[in-house]
Structure 1
Amino acid sequence: MATKLKAQPYIKLQQIAEEIEIKNPNWDILDNTFSTQKTLFDYQQQALENALKILWKYFEDLQENKEEFAKIYKDLDIYEDLHIKLKGNKHAELLKEFFNVEIDNKGNEYIPFSEISNRMSFWMATGSGKTLIIVKLITLLHKLMKLGLIPKKEIMFLTYRQDLLKAFKKHVEEYNQGKSLENQIKLISLKDYEKEKNQKDFSNRVFIYRSDLISDERKENILNFRDYLENQNEKLIGNWYLILDEAHKGDSQESKRQNIFSILTQKGFLFNFSATFTEAIDIVSTVYNLNLNEFINKGYGKQIYVSNEEINAFKEKSDFNEKAKRKIILKNLINLTAVKKAYEKIKDENLYHNPLLIFLMNSVNTKDADLKLVFKELAKIGKNIDQNLFNEAKNELIEEFKNAKYTLGEGSYTLDFINEFVEKIDKNHIYQYVYNSSTGGNIEYIINPNQKQEIALKLDTSDKPFALIKIGDISKWIKENLTEYKENESYEEKGYFENLNNPDSPINILLGSRAFYEGWDSNRPNIITFINIGTGTDAKKFVLQAIGRGIRIEPLPNQRKRLDRLAVNNQSLNQKLEEYKKEIKTLETLLVYATNKKAIETILKELELVKKSEGFEEVSLWKNERIKKENLLLLIPSYAKNKEKIINQAYPVKFRMSKENLDILKIYFQLMPVERFILEYETDIETYNSLKKIVEESNKYIAIDKNRNYKDIKMLINSLINHINAETEDFNEFIPVNDKIVHFRKIKVRNDYKDKFVKAVEKVKDSDVNKANIIKETLKGQGIEGNIIENTIKSLLQQEIDDVKIRKLLQHYYIPIIYTKEKKDWIKHIINIESEYDFIANLLEIIDDIDKHYDWWMFSKLDEHLDKEIYIPYVNQGKTKKFIPDFVFWLKKGNDYKILFIDPKGSVYSSYLEKIDGYKSIFEENGKPKTFRINKGNSNLNVKVDLKLYTKDTVSAIAGTEYKKYWIDKKSMKNVFITSSKSLNSQSTK
């Protein structure tokens, strides 16, 4: 659908989503629940939150105006390339039938991008749980339709293989468990559309089918897309909410099927999910990026090492290089033994997974099939291991790991930690850890009449299998390759593959082909070896997805992050992390081998493409050396779950609703029978009584707010139920900030600005503050005016690029501080909001005054997307949330210490009320900040936490006296710091 690109496409829609603030509280419908067994991970919630923001923008804010929506992409260098060129397009007539056609300045016809802009993509790594996101997205679409917030349209789900369709159905079944019929998702085959479409109630249904069976003709199982269009004003149009899962497989952007999907959503909306986007339109419209690179960098997957060794031996099918073949297989078995020894050491700690080695072959059933060659070597090694070859393989591995660094992951350290285990391996360990035997022996095979696609392998010296062959046609393979081996039969109900994730699974090696690399999930793979996989487009996607199959990690049950990420603020996990450092690193590593250098280059190229898909590169700034030199103690509050439910708390967080809502609720509880209420809301008598108490004692539990007007009584009551069941947080202790502020290490700069930016920040970093201060004092002594002094200091300590100011401030947590008045499309994770810019400008004017009032003080910008460990908890409409203010200050005078959060606002919104309520409930007593007496280091400190909201608008314009004291402006800002200095010795204690 697009011609060759002039520039590299980068992710745009996610950037837009992160800047959107939904201005209608009725859209606040997302929670983290999925089923009785599962809740959504943070990144899954974030993906759905971004999706909701874009849906609000398109349907409510822009009123389904595709031309206006397309304008958000206008600043892309490749915008023109997103149009569908019709010259030479074999599907031109089909497209012209449904979309508006325009003519460019050369007289060529094209379909403008705006015609197909009503879409969003989810770039989700294999193993990230995208099916959960799809199912949850469906429920959100149903809710939005019921509330009248988006138009009522049918939902269609398409994926390209039957097993993937089956996996989707299983997830829906899991979601439906325990829910009333009204709240369950109803799946219907698209073949039954005609029967179903006239049913009055379609609120929870989804039509499903195989994407590869949608065409422009109708046969037995192939469906004609025209049968699923609506007739409006004598014209056929597509009016679906269409969800695609890997539905682009095997298609080019110019394919008929991709055009059909656009036609089906002409007046609807397209949601595209994949682990391997390569087309520009999918990349720019990505609303959430958790591709392989991001997945690993965020700590959700194993880190990847692709071996530099070329496995040339398997290119040749003859036996002349049999020794080379055996050596590479032996290396794989030594690696597997090493990782299994690491696992054995921490097995009793209930950590991690039983490691697995996977061989993925190009050929299975040909005369000299790759599978046959690997099998032969496994059989020979199983019978006897040549000591010299073993020593050679082992020494080469040790040498490689000494200098090896991750291909994808933290590249700052080498993989020599694996050698701790490799060095201690002898031949017998291979039999013990890989072959499940105490000695060598002959291969036997096990078949199960109920499992037609798998063969298990064992030694005759063991009673347990060690390997599993998973292919399409085992009968042919047995006949051609296993006639000389002894056969055993198993009649277990479940096959070995189905039991692969069980802790007691004996299978250590999996052998297969492309046929089984999708549709199954496991944490177990630690080594993947590709045998003769090609370098074509399909092979590239296969390699990338197969690697994605191996990166899943689960250090603790239902915890899918690497242990160092889970150990934050967890002393016992930190102890385990320290005690088993090498074991953990080994189990969190995926070793990848490929047959030839071309295949390796393919992998590296694909991974590199993923890394740079946004057109941005990360630049890390520097933590202020002053913190370490002066041993400054920078504390932040940490929290623990509140043991009391909201309704039993002394100062409960109030639920906000309009007066009209409260009046309706009072009538509702008078008229609604208890039994019917419990049935309707799937709740219990305790919840009913709690809700009734809230309504009866509304002064204590409800805050009247005209901006919180619910249109739907059921949504209001469900929000109230969530509110009383919300798991609130309370203050636990103060902890050092340490590495909780991370955004300054992840400044993203567009490639064409990177070199210029790096030179500027390095120049500012190396500037001499002491010299600047001497000049400042000299100029003051000469009676020079303030503006001249400020401009002189700027010239010494500041650089500017495109109105972005880069300045060295010794009071700031990291150097340099970077700020600009408005967002720039070439840089991310800096200060770029006008209200924050104004705040910094005003702060610079009073820095000298603040210095006079404290022994020392520091502050830092916080990024709500990256610095998530520094926050104030609050409850908003039944959901526990984190308020991450834009700035945190640390102010110390004697033993008195204040943590001051300041959050600039462009204008005053009612949304700040819940955030202040959250702060008050934890850090105030009788309207004044509490003093917490703590012992840190050699000091007994009196610590207070304060909160201020900064606005350019005058504070006098803020209505109501209860919240007015939390607001400051330019005039009152200086006084806040001076007053803070005087009030640090308040006697309110905890």
Structure 2
Amino acid sequence: MATGSGKTFLVHLNYLQFIKHNRGKYRIKFDNILLITPNENLSFQHIEEMKKSRIPCMLFGNTEFGDFSKFADENTIKVVDIHKLTDEKKGSGVTIDIEKFGTKNLVFVDEGHKGSSGKKWNYFRNELTSDGFKIEYSATFGQAVASGSEEGQKLFHEYGKSILFDYSYRFFFEDGYGKKYKILNLKDKAYSDEIKHKLMLVNLLSFYQQKKIFNDNYAETQEYNIAEPLWVFLGSSVNKNTETSDVLQVINFLGKFLKNEDNWVINNIKDIFEGNSGLEDPTGIDIFSPQYPEQKLKFLRESGLSPEEIYTNILKKVFHTVGSAPLYLVNIKNAKGEIALKCGTGKYFGVINIGSDGQFLDRVENECKDPTTAKILNLRIDSDDISYSLFRDINSNNSNINILIGAKKFIEGWNSWRVSNMGLLNIGKSEGSQIIQLFGRGVRLKGKNMSLKRSTATDGSSEYIPVLETLNIFGIEANYMDQFKYYLRNEGVTVDNRIEIPIKIQINDSYIKEELLIPDYNNREFKNHIFELDSYEKMEPVEIDLYPKIDVLESNESEEIRAEYKKPRREIRSPEINLLDWTKIYYQLLEFRLQKDWNNIYFSEETLRGVIERGNNAYSLKCPENIIHPLKFEGVCELEEAVIIILKKYLQKYYNRQKNIWINRNLYLKKLDEENGNFSFEEFRVSIGEKELEIIVALQELETLKEDFMRGNTDNVYLTNVYFDRHIYQPLIAKKLRDSSKYSIHPNGLNSGEVQFIEDLKTYLDSNPEVFKDTKLFVLRNLPKLGVKFFDTVSFFPDFIIWLKNGDNSQHLLFVDPKGLIHTNGFNDEKIKLCHSIKDTEAEINTKLQKQGSTQQVKLDSFIVSVTSKRELEPVFRVKLDSKYEMNHILFQEDRNYIEQMFDSIF
């Protein structure tokens, strides 16, 4: 599994599955339930996470219980790191003899393959489960196997045939989870100290840009659950006698930055912004050149701040000081291994977390005594007997720490949402699995509504948020970065940096002046509308089918094709209702409400019970009879699960019914303007790997052909403008097939069905001018998450809005969605049923207009344009007659006159 993809939650899920299903006469009684971790830090982390999930757990050596006290519940997970296991227990140390656990255990192993290289560890794990069961979890198994070593081959043969769940980083990233990443590395160059410091300065500027965006757009960052940025520097060496330690290199840079001797910082910032950084790509182009395809530090450049102002702001916002000052290294006596960083008398801005803080400080002190280095270093050493661990508090909201410096100890056992910039020194020269672990420290992302997804995968409504959702990785040693990239590629990760080419949209102002109307409502006002669940609401019963689906199709000329196994409807009666744990059911529904963010609906245990007591008036339940008439206690649990399913579906239907009622009462028409969500993106962004020079050059040529491209007079081999002069903005972009997998467009370009619809609509309009003699037609692409939304129980953003505006100032709005229908619920699909429910909305709108004294009339219609053929849809819709499709406003793109059919049905 990808690091950061929820491996810990999968452990929780597997544990809960075991507890749920390990019942009855075949129940397995294990000696213990154990979780074995690679180290003590990770054990503490697992304990904290299990507490949040309300899973009973205890740590080996916990003084409250003693060493796995006999008073612990048999379902308690006992957490121990592999280093504390032994089969030769002597004395009273912290180790524990595996004999104490027995051999019949349920064992969860975190990063289990890591101990496989030690025969002893492998023996311990196998001995603990010789009569039990073992489940192992790993974020780095793929890298360990891919190493090509003899040990890797052994791992492959041991684990390769027993993988239950594979969710490597490639799938994790492509599904929209976690941060994007950028890697800056100058290949095959020997770094002088000056170049190293300049690269660190670029790293610092990148971090400051994220910090500035975070502070300037705080409200928006909170909507997307963005944590305050943190700059992390990791190195492998701390106290080498023969060379400067990695950590000391960073300290040297920070001292140099704070001293700013001879305006070193300001002059270098100026050089960077002017494209004279001296940091060149493989073709010899300065990567900060204004002509470089991707504008690095774009937002900082556009801020209008001078290099002097940027330096001053960095001192304030990152280093908590107002001017140049010595760098203090302060030994935190109450936190082993921690050295705080501050400027003069300012607040702590950073922390070094290493194993031997005393030795490291001795090394620094010796450097400071050397007259040849003392002047350059600008360092002071101090101690603090009062403060406690800064590292442990780094994730709290009131932490002042902006910079974290450490060694490999961070690779395991540390979890943070804050990491946004990484500087790496000598990491990953030989161990691929450590590289992926390291990568996982920075890609973790909460996302909007805790979706864990990037904004571009949810709504893409901001140009600033993606900057904060990007992990910037800066390498100081080129000899390991190639290997770093190799292991990422092996994981399925595209590691070449990507550049973005903007293509701005041009809105037709004359169309905006047409005062086109668009429906809207205030969702925040609905959230303030409080209502209570009604057990006796008159609405269609919710349908629950707990049988396996068995459909038999017969092809004939009847109106519909129906042949389905008849399943009896069941009702849950009072004797069984009285057996249920209604408090448990109530809390399950409260949790469901919380997940849905439905904080404006209230219900009680009595209300929920009332729904079930209404029987088939509230629900239609199809299930085996033994579910509603349990003969054993285990059967009662199964009935409770069925009741929870019924109530969730009832609650969802009721909530959305109430929302629909509220929307119809509070819906209003507003004039389309440039503030509409469909125009919020301002430009298409084409993202391409920086090595795809042919594509980059071809797309950049569009800038010189801009006017022709906007009018649809020219394309290139990669992009086309699906030009239609009645569309409200230009261009309407779509990919061409050539190398289309090598670049992406945001917002997404038109797909083939959408392209075909626009082209067919244009052709019909050009061929039938008499149809639109007294009617003006306008079209707008309706963007997901940003445009006009309809819903019953799911959100629906039709792809296009068409306005037909007549001379009498009446307007007819058509919402059209070209889509495949093979995976729908037939005529019961909500997107198809919109063609009927939209008429209620139309009536409500016109009633409001009349009350306002307006003579304007508005009509609404909805159409689905199927890109799937009728023949393919027969098993789904069970119908052969065209009239049934026509009644439900389903048009088929395979019919050459489908556009004519659409207009004929409304004129």
- TM-score where L is the length of structure 2: 0.61
Cα distance in 1 between the residues matched to 2:651 and 2:847: 29
Please name the residue that 1:897 is paired with: 812
Please name the residue that 2:645 is paired with: 719
Deviations along 1:696-750, whole A, 9 cap, x unmatched? Answer: 556764467899x99953433222232344464544567746258999977999x
Query: How much has 1:445 moved relative to structure 2?
Result: 2.1
Give the one of 159, 162, 170 matched to 2:48.
170
Cα distance in 2 between the residues matched to 1:406 and 1:305: 18
Deviations along 1:930-971, whole A, 9 cap, x unmatched? Answer: 658789xx9967252435575726889379999993254568
1:738 aligns with 2:661: no
1:415-426 equivalence runs, <5 A: 415-417=300-302, 420=305, 422-425=307-310
Please name the residue that 1:977 is paired with: 902
1:146-225 equivalence runs, <5 A: 163-164=41-42, 166-176=44-54, 207-213=108-114, 215=116, 219=120, 222-223=123-124
Matched to 1:515, the amino acid is: K
Please name the residue that 2:608 is paired with: 691
Query: How much has 1:520 moved relative to structure 2?
Result: 3.0
Query: How much has 1:359 moved relative to structure 2?
Result: 3.1
Contact 2:111/2:136, CA 8 A, preserved across alignment: no
More divergent stretch after superposition (256-265 vs 610-619): 610-619
- Shift of the 704–903 alpha-carbon distance from structure 1 to 2, 3 Å rule, reads farther
Other structure's SS at 2:572 match: helix
- Shift of the 135–628 alpha-carbon distance from structure 1 to 2, 3 Å rule, reads farther
Give the one of 396, 411, 429 matched to 1:502.
396
- Shift of the 698–896 alpha-carbon distance from structure 1 to 2, 3 Å rule, reads farther
Query: How much has 1:689 moved relative to structure 2?
Result: 3.0
Cα distance in 1 between the residues matched to 2:325 and 2:708: 70
Cα distance in 1 between the residues matched to 2:755 and 2:611: 42
Give the one of 101, 106, 130 matched to 2:6.
130
Contact 1:358/1:528, CA 8 A, preserved across alignment: yes
Please name the residue that 1:470 is paired with: 353
Give the one of 521, 525, 544 matched to 1:657.
544
Matched to 1:452, the amino acid is: K
Cα distance in 1 between the residues matched to 2:402 and 2:181: 18
Deviations along 1:763-810, whole A, 9 cap, x unmatched? Answer: xx99999x99xxxxxxxxxxxxxxxxxxxxxxx999999xx9998666
Other structure's SS at 2:113 match: helix
Other structure's SS at 1:208 match: strand
Give the one of 776, 782, 792 matched to 1:874.
792
Please name the residue that 1:965 is paired with: 887
1:402-413 equivalence runs, <5 A: 403=288
Matched to 2:45, the amino acid is: A
Contact 1:657/1:710, CA 8 A, preserved across alignment: no
Please name the residue that 1:365 is paired with: 239
Matched to 1:468, the amino acid is: V
Please name the residue that 2:870 is paired with: 952
Matched to 1:520, the amino acid is: W
Query: How much has 1:499 moved relative to structure 2?
Result: 0.9
Matched to 2:330, the amino acid is: Y
Cα distance in 2 between the residues matched to 1:646 and 1:669: 21
Matched to 1:176, the amino acid is: R
Give the one of 441, 453, 461 matched to 2:337.
453
- Shift of the 919–223 alpha-carbon distance from structure 1 to 2, 3 Å rule, reads farther
Query: How much has 1:516 moved relative to structure 2?
Result: 1.6
Cα distance in 1 between the residues matched to 2:313 and 2:742: 58
Deviations along 1:567-587, whole A, 9 cap, x unmatched? Answer: 978xxxx8xx9xxx8xx8987
- Shift of the 469–673 alpha-carbon distance from structure 1 to 2, 3 Å rule, reads same
Please name the residue that 1:41 is paired with: none
Contact 1:157/1:206, CA 8 A, preserved across alignment: yes
More divergent stretch after superposition (464-473 vs 482-491): 482-491
- Shift of the 842–962 alpha-carbon distance from structure 1 to 2, 3 Å rule, reads same
Query: How much has 1:593 moved relative to structure 2?
Result: 4.3
Query: How much has 1:424 moved relative to structure 2?
Result: 1.4
Contact 1:217/1:223, CA 8 A, preserved across alignment: no
Contact 2:36/2:79, CA 8 A, preserved across alignment: no
Matched to 1:957, the amino acid is: V
Please name the residue that 1:913 is paired with: 828
Cα distance in 1 between the residues matched to 2:487 and 2:118: 36
Query: How much has 1:496 moved relative to structure 2?
Result: 0.7
Other structure's SS at 1:423 match: helix
- Shift of the 520–650 alpha-carbon distance from structure 1 to 2, 3 Å rule, reads same
Matched to 1:873, the amino acid is: F
Please name the residue that 2:192 is paired with: 313
1:29-428 equivalence runs, <5 A: 123=2, 129-131=5-7, 134=10, 138=14, 163-164=41-42, 166-176=44-54, 207-213=108-114, 215=116, 219=120, 222-223=123-124, 243-252=137-146, 254=148, 269-275=163-169, 287-290=171-174, 300=179, 312-314=191-193, 356-367=230-241, 368-371=243-246, 373-374=248-249, 377=252, 381=256, 385-400=260-275, 403=288, 415-417=300-302, 420=305, 422-425=307-310
Other structure's SS at 1:271 match: coil
Contact 1:526/1:589, CA 8 A, preserved across alignment: yes
Contact 1:646/1:652, CA 8 A, preserved across alignment: no
1:570-585 equivalence runs, <5 A: none
Cα distance in 2 between the residues matched to 1:805 and 1:406: 24
- Shift of the 589–363 alpha-carbon distance from structure 1 to 2, 3 Å rule, reads same
Contact 1:929/1:944, CA 8 A, preserved across alignment: no
- Shift of the 196–657 alpha-carbon distance from structure 1 to 2, 3 Å rule, reads farther
Cα distance in 2 between the residues matched to 1:133 and 1:811: 51
Other structure's SS at 1:452 match: coil
Structure 2: which 5+ residue stretches go unaligned?
A: 58-71, 86-97, 278-287, 370-379, 549-566, 591-602, 629-637
Cα distance in 1 between the residues matched to 2:216 and 2:759: 56
Query: How much has 1:364 moved relative to structure 2?
Result: 0.9
Please name the residue that 1:676 is paired with: 581
Matched to 2:270, the amino acid is: N
Query: How much has 1:347 moved relative to structure 2?
Result: 7.1
Cα distance in 1 between the residues matched to 2:440 and 2:12: 22
Contact 1:241/1:269, CA 8 A, preserved across alignment: no
Percent identity over the alignment is 15
Query: How much has 1:362 moved relative to structure 2?
Result: 4.0
Other structure's SS at 1:363 match: coil
Cα distance in 1 between the residues matched to 2:456 and 2:539: 35
Q: CA RMSD in A?
A: 6.8
Contact 2:230/2:403, CA 8 A, preserved across alignment: yes
Contact 1:336/1:357, CA 8 A, preserved across alignment: yes
Query: How much has 1:497 moved relative to structure 2?
Result: 0.5
Cα distance in 1 between the residues matched to 2:363 and 2:496: 51
Matched to 2:678, the amino acid is: N
Please name the residue that 1:791 is paired with: none
More divergent stretch after superposition (806-815 vs 501-510): 806-815
Query: How much has 1:358 moved relative to structure 2?
Result: 3.2
Deviations along 1:575-631, whole A, 9 cap, x unmatched? Answer: xx9xxx8xx898777665443565677778888999984999999999997966755
Structure 1: which 5+ residue stretches go unaligned?
A: 1-121, 200-204, 232-238, 276-285, 315-320, 773-795, 876-880, 983-990
Matched to 1:370, the amino acid is: S
Cα distance in 1 between the residues matched to 2:611 and 2:882: 24
Number of residue-to-residue matches in the alignment: 758
1:482-631 equivalence runs, <5 A: 482=365, 487-490=382-385, 492=387, 495-525=389-419, 527-531=421-425, 533=426, 536=429, 538=431, 546=438, 549-550=441-442, 593-595=474-476, 613=494, 630-631=511-512
- Shift of the 558–223 alpha-carbon distance from structure 1 to 2, 3 Å rule, reads same
Contact 2:229/2:420, CA 8 A, preserved across alignment: yes
Cα distance in 1 between the residues matched to 2:436 and 2:141: 17
Deviations along 1:12-68, whole A, 9 cap, x unmatched? Answer: xxxxxxxxxxxxxxxxxxxxxxxxxxxxxxxxxxxxxxxxxxxxxxxxxxxxxxxxx
Query: How much has 1:434 moved relative to structure 2?
Result: 1.5
